């Protein structure tokens, strides 16, 4: 599969699929694409969505980026919570400027964030990776309250981020298109990175809808920061993907405990999240 993907125009095909997923007319086509997707991924839970019928959605993308009811997620009374639904990949410490993509496969935090100063400030902190399957809720939320200092959209490739690709494509997270959001909190700095993947239409940021959707580069909020609360919406995957959460050593110490270190454990947005002190 990886060999085949090396030969394909991944970005072009992903953008094309993104365009198709946004088609609303003819209505018959939109309904058929939604139905086929739901049949293919029957674990999609519409009971927790604001709109509980497939007929209520105007396109496949509208269906994929569905909102859920506020009461369908309990937000833990902890410093840090999971930013999204999904399955844990790797987690652990940030050491010598690297984190783990998969067992035995490190990648550079500076390359990943394209910001050496920010990467250096995270040394001694911790990270975790959460993979969102196609049936998961695909809106990402803030893991902790604080002030958004900056967001950065980084164009790149669109490799898959499933288990096979993560174990077979070195540095895949630092190669793919991604959007990072840095938040200053009373306990330290948290950086959430939404990583794009094959067949991802785009990544939208809640605080600035142009980032990742019409512009690239770094965005600094007017006035220097934007206040956000824990579990506020951070952004939306218009198909895809993976979230990598990084915290500095001060925030890691404040959230002492286990970081659900075993790969394969399911998590839901709002669950308590902590790291080994």
Query: What is the Cα–Cα distance from 113 to 259, expressed in whole angstroms?
Result: 22
Catalytic residue among 14, 21, 82, 85: 85
213 counts as catalytic: no
Dihedral sign of CA atoms 262, 263, 264, 265 in order? positive
Question: Rounded to the nearest 5°, which phi and psi values hold at 128?
Answer: -150, 155
Catalytic residue among 138, 141, 153, 187: 141
Catalytic residue among 21, 82, 180, 241: 241
Query: What is the Cα–Cα distance from 220 to 151, expressed in whole angstroms?
Result: 7
Please give the angle made by the CA atoms of 14, 20 and 21, to the nearest 5 degrees.
Answer: 85
Tokens of 224: 């220097």
78 counts as catalytic: no
CA R_g for the chain: 18
Tokens of 245: 């959460």
Q: Which of 102, 125, 109 is nearest to 174 (CA)?
A: 109
Strands (E), the chain: 86-93, 98-102, 105-108, 126-131, 139-141, 146-154, 178-185, 188-195, 202-205, 217-219, 226-228, 233-238, 242-247, 266-267
241 counts as catalytic: yes
3-state SS, residue 169: coil
Question: Rounded to the nearest 5°, which phi and psi values hold at 127?
Answer: -145, 160
Q: Which of 139, 163, 162 is nearest to 239 (CA)?
A: 139
Q: Which residues are catalytic?
A: 85, 141, 241
């Amino acid at each position: 599969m990886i060999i085949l993907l090396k030969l394909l125009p991944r970005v072009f095909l992903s953008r094309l699929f993104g365009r198709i997923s946004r088609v609303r007319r003819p209505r018959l086509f939109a309904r058929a694409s939604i139905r086929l997707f739901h049949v293919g991924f029957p674990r999609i839970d519409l009971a927790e969505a604001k709109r509980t019928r497939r007929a209520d959605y105007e396109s496949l993308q509208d269906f994929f980026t569905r909102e859920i009811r506020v009461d369908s997620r309990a937000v833990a009374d902890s410093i840090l919570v999971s930013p999204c639904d999904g399955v844990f990949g790797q987690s652990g410490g940030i050491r010598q400027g690297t984190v783990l993509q998969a067992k035995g496969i490190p990648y550079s935090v500076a390359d990943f964030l394209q910001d050496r100063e920010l990467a250096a400030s995270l040394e001694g902190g911790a990270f975790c990776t959460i993979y969102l399957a196609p049936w998961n809720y695909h809106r990402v939320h803030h893991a902790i309250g604080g002030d958004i200092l900056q967001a950065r959209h980084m164009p790149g490739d669109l490799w898959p981020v499933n288990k096979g690709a993560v174990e077979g494509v070195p540095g895949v997270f630092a190669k793919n298109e991604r959007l990072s959001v840095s938040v200053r909190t009373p306990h330290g700095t948290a950086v959430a990175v939404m990583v794009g993947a094959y067949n991802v239409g785009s990544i939208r940021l809640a605080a600035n809808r142009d980032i990742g959707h019409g512009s690239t580069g770094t965005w600094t909020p007017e006035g220097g920061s934007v206040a956000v609360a824990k579990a506020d919406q951070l952004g939306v995957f218009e198909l895809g993907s993976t979230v990598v959460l990084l915290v500095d050593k001060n925030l890691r110490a404040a959230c002492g405990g286990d970081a659900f270190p075993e790969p394969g454990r399911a998590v839901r947005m709002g669950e308590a999240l902590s790291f080994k002190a």
